[in-house]
Structure 1
């Protein structure tokens, strides 16, 4: 079952509203704005989590950030290679 909805009136710069309307596609402007607000809430929650972790364990260093980026990049490459192997009928063994 879908979440109940409620109508709201918001104010935003005209250029942003028009860009959002252009990009909203068949789902419509309301769905586009709701998704954008949802992503912002997730980012705010993540920033709060980072702040708590840094308060407990100290700030995250640039080296730690780069190590995680490298790890993520490697995982994406591995996932892409596994997907390519499956589509050609060959194994990546």
Structure 2
């Protein structure tokens, strides 16, 4: 994949935290991953907004069902991480 070097300004305290968290992946990989995640959240927000325009807001029951499903998925991810270890730094 082609890359391009850019210059950004980041508060020192944030940079220290990022460097500590990035570890072996490196700062560039960490920042690229964070930016991809931000773009994905933006796209998801656009989809949610569109769905609400088309079909209306979620009911309390639909929200509760979605939260329950997310808790189930998170519990399964936690189980898998515990079973297989989570030292890779990759998202499950």
What TM-score do you get using the length of structure 2 for normalisation? 0.73
- SS of the residue 1:24 aligns to: helix
Larger radius of gyration: 1
Runs of 4+ in structure 1 displaced over 6 angstroms?
none
CA RMSD of aligned residues (A): 2.2
Which residue does 1:25 correspond to in 2?
23
Give the unaligned 5+ runs of structure 2: 84-92
Measured against aligned partners, the alpha-carbon deviations of 1:16-55 in whole angstroms (never above 9, x if no partner) come to 1110011111111111111011100000000000000000
Residue pairs, 1:1-93, within 5 angstroms: 3-74=1-72
What TM-score comes out, normalization by structure 1 length?
0.72
User: Structure 1's 24 and 76: CA in aligned 2 closer, same or farther, altered over 3 A?
Assistant: closer
C-alpha displacement at 1:78, in angstroms? 7.2
- Structure 1: 5+ residue stretches without partners: 85-93
- Size of the aligned set, in residue pairs, is 79
